[in-house]
Structure 1
Amino acid sequence: MTTLPRISRRRMLGGAAASAAVAFPMINTGSYRLHAASPKTYSKRAVDLIAQSLVIDMLGVLKITLTNDFYAAPMTPQDRADFKAASITGMHHSYGIGGPDAYSEVLSYMGQSLGYCSRNPDVFTLIDKAADLDLAKKQGKVGVILGVQSSEHFRTPADVKLFHQIGQRCSQLTYNAQNLLGSGSTERVDGGVTDFGVSIIEAMNKVGMLVDVSHCGPRTTLDAIEISPRPIAITHSNCRALVDHPRLKTDEAIKALAAKGGVMGITGVRMFVRDREPTGIGHIADHVDHVAKLVGIEHVGIGTDADLNGYDDMEPEAYARLKASYKSSYGFRDKIDTDGFDHPMKIYDLTEELIRRNYSDKNIAAVLGGNFRRLLAQTWGG
């Protein structure tokens, strides 16, 4: 659901304390406290799994922000501690930018993102090919995958190559509304991928840019899967079979995606996780279970659709503006974040839940990032 009305979308305040992230073994319990500011402990198995696995969040923005201040300001010690503790190998930093000024606004957004990463090379590294994710893991850095959650900045197919050269590696065809490529998920009628959309998908495949259909309508989603010769992604969505929400994907779409070799990232946005209270991490894992049972474990991953801390501690005015910017069909409740999935170490909590559900180490590693690593290699090379 990450969107950007004019360059930047949202600002997150708070997070864990600004102390160094160091592992403290709890010898008597066989568990570990991994963030000096957090009282939580995690099992040795979970800690070892994350240490040994690529962890790829296929929609994890650097910071939820409503202003440009974040990109201009230096990283705080708190930010550094939080990114270290999170153990994210690859983060797909992507906003929804559309409208008549999309071309210039995406250029500005990408320039700001590139500048921020280049000014903090001890924390971030930019991802170009799949092998860069392996290097990021080795170096203990966060690999930043630049994307856009709309393709309205592509005025012609030639623009796809231009933005690929700048650094864009993933593009969602539509946001929630209709555009020149196809229909969004909250449109009343979905006419599918247009002729222009076909030309953009062809151009994306030619340069090696991942096609994303997370916010696309049902017909546009199915059309894109069929049209693209390469597998594509649903980087951040959940299962319509579990929650009847227009932004979520039907079993038909999930089966079609898997049949072409695609991967679906499960999100922690509350109203996409469960349609009633309580809504916790176990309900996120229910969507992992559903995809795994429906099409196989090799087609499911993670796309949190948030920054490290989530949405619910935004400034009240910004939080209200965020909710007001969506159609009523989004069905926001009091909270946007899922309980327990709103802090830098949330991937550890999800890993513990998958362990409780008797997933094997191999399958957990696939969900954490192995599946998206495979898909990105097929799309990008390397």
Structure 2
Amino acid sequence: MTALPEVSRRRLLGGAVAAAAVTGFPMINTGLFRAHAAATKAYSKRAVDLVKQSLVIDMLAPLKIDFRPEYYANPLSEKDAAEFRASGITGFHNAVGTGGPEAYANTLAWIAAWQGFAGRNSHVFSLVGKVEDLDRAKREGKCAVIMGVQNSEHFRKVEDVKSFYQIGQRCSQLTYNSQNLLGSGSTERVDGGITDYGAAIIKAMNDVGMLIDVSHCGDRTTLDAIDISPRPIAITHSNCRALVDHPRVKADEAIKALGAKGGVMGITGVRMFVSAKEPTAIGDMVDHIDHVVKLIGIDHVGIGSDADLNGYDDMPADQYKMLKAGYKASYAFRDKIDTDGFDHPMKTYDLVEELIRRKYSNDNITAILGGNFRRLLGATWA
């Protein structure tokens, strides 16, 4: 979901960038076990073992949702470092929406800022260029940063795809919520599908091995992209329209097409994409996982939280207001953005507890946590 507000885009060129934050929610268990010394609750030994043994990839996880330059410009705090390590997440797809006339410059600055942040904090982070970098980070106990962009307006010409790949971008969403030169976004009244230029960009992304993402694309644009791309693509962070009627989530037709082509869909915890009713809790989020599994099978679903470790609801009040103001009324924000139980650094453990409760096997839980996206990324980046 995260887009740089206009004020932040202007600041970005002078040094500010967007990123992610944290808080907590409980869930009762038997056979309880501390996942980490700093954990505020206990989890089952099975859940703890599954997170520790699995390669956990969050395919939309900005490192920090904070529009102030102080976060990325300063060293990582000991508190934040401890929370990253304790989270159990290895792969963070660090992506934000850029756009407008300064998209090229803003995206360059954003990538530079966050790659620099990861490099300066190499005791916690490592950068990802190939899929084996995720495996290495898991072995070393580090958080692997996958650089992506939630729009493709920075591709001014086809050759820009290779240029951005060469500086580290590994995933690009074709459109954000609005129309661009490639296709239509999910909140546009009319969706004309993928344009000729969009088809050329899709080819260029396949040629260099950059993952194509259609999470924010309109319905027709989503289907066109899946059809046009010879390789599988991703819906890194969206949910199922069969369960909640929202323009930013995907119809069964698109989910089936994605699965038939070998793609993977990441389920998000953004509240209005999870349920139209209150309360909206982690169980409602897992309903979307269940739905994708029933439609296209266990091999095609993963996680794309669309939030940092702490979620949105504990952002500074002025930033929170600015964030909500940056979207059309059709986004239908409610009082809270985060899903209860999926809004704190240990949220992966809570998710695993719910998957265990629903009788998912260990192998299936490992696939959901990151195995499926690891397979897709390996095939794409190869």
TM-score, length-scaled by structure 2 = 0.95
Determine the structure 2 residue equivalent to 1:368: 369
1:247 paired to 2:248:
yes
Alignment partners' CA distance in 2, 1:165 and 1:35: 37
1:290 and 2:258 matched: no
Structure 2 partner of 1:141: 142
- Uncovered stretches (5+) of structure 1, i.e. residues with no partner: 17-28
Residue 79 (1) aligns with residue 80 (2):
yes
Deviation at 1:10, TM superposition (A): 5.2
The question of whether the paired residues in 2 share the 8 Å contact of 1:173 and 1:212 is answered with yes
8 Å contact from structure 2 (residues 19, 308) kept in 1: no
**What amino acid maps onto 2:379 in structure 1?**
Q
- Matched residue type, 2:256: K
Shift in Å, 1:31: 2.1
Instruction: Quote how far apart the aligned CAs of 1:67 are.
Output: 2.0
Q: 2:84, 2:19 → 1: CA distance?
A: 17
* Aligned residue number for residue 340 of structure 2: 339
**Aligned-partner residue type, residue 264 of structure 1:** M
Q: Deviations over 1:159-202 (max 9, x none)?
A: 00000000000000000000000000000000000000011000
CA distance in structure 2 between the partners assigned to 1:225 and 1:358 by the alignment = 32
Cα distance in 1 for residues equivalent to 2:18 and 2:340: 20
> Which residue number in structure 2 is paired with residue 222 of structure 1?
223
Equivalent in the alignment of 1:357: 358
Whichever residue aligns with residue 176 of structure 2, its letter is Y
The equivalent residue for 1:259 is: 260
Partner of 2:195: 194
The 8 Å contact of residues 9 and 64 in structure 1, kept in 2 or not, is answered as no
Contact 2:23 2:343 in 1 (8 A): no
Unaligned 5+ residue runs, structure 2? 25-29
2:170 alignment partner, SS class: strand
Distance apart, 1:266 and its partner CA: 0.1
Distance 1:14 1:247, change over 3 A: closer
Contact 1:233 1:264 in 2 (8 A): yes
Shifted more, 200-209 versus 129-138: the winner is 129-138
Percent of aligned pairs with the same amino acid: 68
Conserved 8 A contact 1:270-1:335: yes
Match of 1:126 in 2: 127
- The alignment partner of 1:236 has SS state of strand
Calculate the aligned-residue CA RMSD, in Å. 1.4
Residue 225 of structure 1, CA deviation: 0.3
Query: Are the counterparts in 1 of residues 20 and 61 from structure 2 also a CA contact under 8 Å?
Result: no
The question of whether the paired residues in 1 share the 8 Å contact of 2:20 and 2:62 is answered with no
- Kept in 2, the 8 Å contact 1:117–1:125? The answer is yes
Distance 1:39 1:122 in 2: 24
Q: CA deviation at 1:100?
A: 0.3
Number of positions where the alignment pairs a residue of Structure 1 with one of Structure 2 = 370
The 8 Å contact of residues 237 and 266 in structure 1, kept in 2 or not, is answered as yes
**1:4 aligned residue:** 4
> Shift of the alpha carbon at 1:89?
1.1
Deviation string, structure 1 residues 352-381 (Cα, Å, up to 9, x no partner): 000000000000000000000000011002
Structure 2 counterpart of 1:372, one-letter code: F
**SS of residue matched to 1:198:** helix
In the other structure, the counterpart of 1:33 is 34
Q: Secondary structure at the match of 1:170?
A: strand
Question: Hey, what's the Cα distance between the residues in 2 that align with 1:261 and 1:12?
Answer: 30
Look up the equivalent residue of 2:42 and give its one-letter code.
T
1:263-278 equivalences in 2 (<5 Å): 263-278=264-279
Distance in 1, Cα, partners of 2:137 & 2:82? 17
Residue matched to 1:157? 158
Give the structure 2 partner of residue 300 of structure 1: 301
SS in 2 for 1:171: strand
2:27 paired residue number: none
Counterpart Cα distance in 2 of 1:240 and 1:144 = 30
Q: Distance in 2 between matches of 1:83 and 1:73?
A: 16
